[in-house]
Amino acid sequence: MESILPLQSNQVDHIQAIARDSFPIVWSQKEFLYFLEHPLAVNLGLSAEGGLQAYFIGLLVRGELDIVSIATAKAERQKGKAGRLLKYVLDLPKIEQAYLEVEANNLPAHRLYEKLGFSVTGTRRKYYQHTLDAHLMKWKRS
């Protein structure tokens, strides 16, 4: 059975392992801990009997959520887990709007975000590794 629970600092190894399978450049444990321990953090994990399957890391300031990182374990992808986790976060009453950057050519992520009501608001040229463009996307509670 799956459950969505707050992430804890002692899960940093699991979070970093998921990130390693998801992104070309991965933060250090110290960088992950910065967000996990931040007073404005909204950090949740989707877990099942096998452990952490997806994570969400964000910062919330006055109703505006900066989505810092979201990823799903490799073996759990294409099962709707990131979507369930993100929808759970966006349904929190304190979230009025949310924004993120996503690699411009990451079509699965774009489809997920658009399905949940995000729209592209701009582009950051050569944002990732100084070579790949990022789309800025925003969601607003209706």
pLDDT tens for 29-88 read: 999 999 999 999 999 999 998 799 999 999 999 999 999 999 999 999 999 999 999 999
Q: With a cut of 90, say whether residue 131 has pLDDT above it.
A: no
Global confidence as pTM: 0.92
Backbone φ, ψ for residue 79 (5° rounding): -120, 10
**pLDDT tens digits for range 86-116:** 999 999 999 999 999 999 999 999 999 999 9
What integer pLDDT is reported at residue 25 of this predicted model? Answer: 85
How far is the C-alpha of 116 from the C-alpha of 114, rounded, in Å? 5
What integer pLDDT is reported at residue 128 of this predicted model? Answer: 83
Q: In the 8-state DSSP scheme, what is residue 89?
A: H
Distances in Å between the Cα of 10 and the Cα atoms of 7, 55, 139 are: 8, 14, 31
Whether 100 and 58 have beta carbons less than 8 Å apart is answered as: no
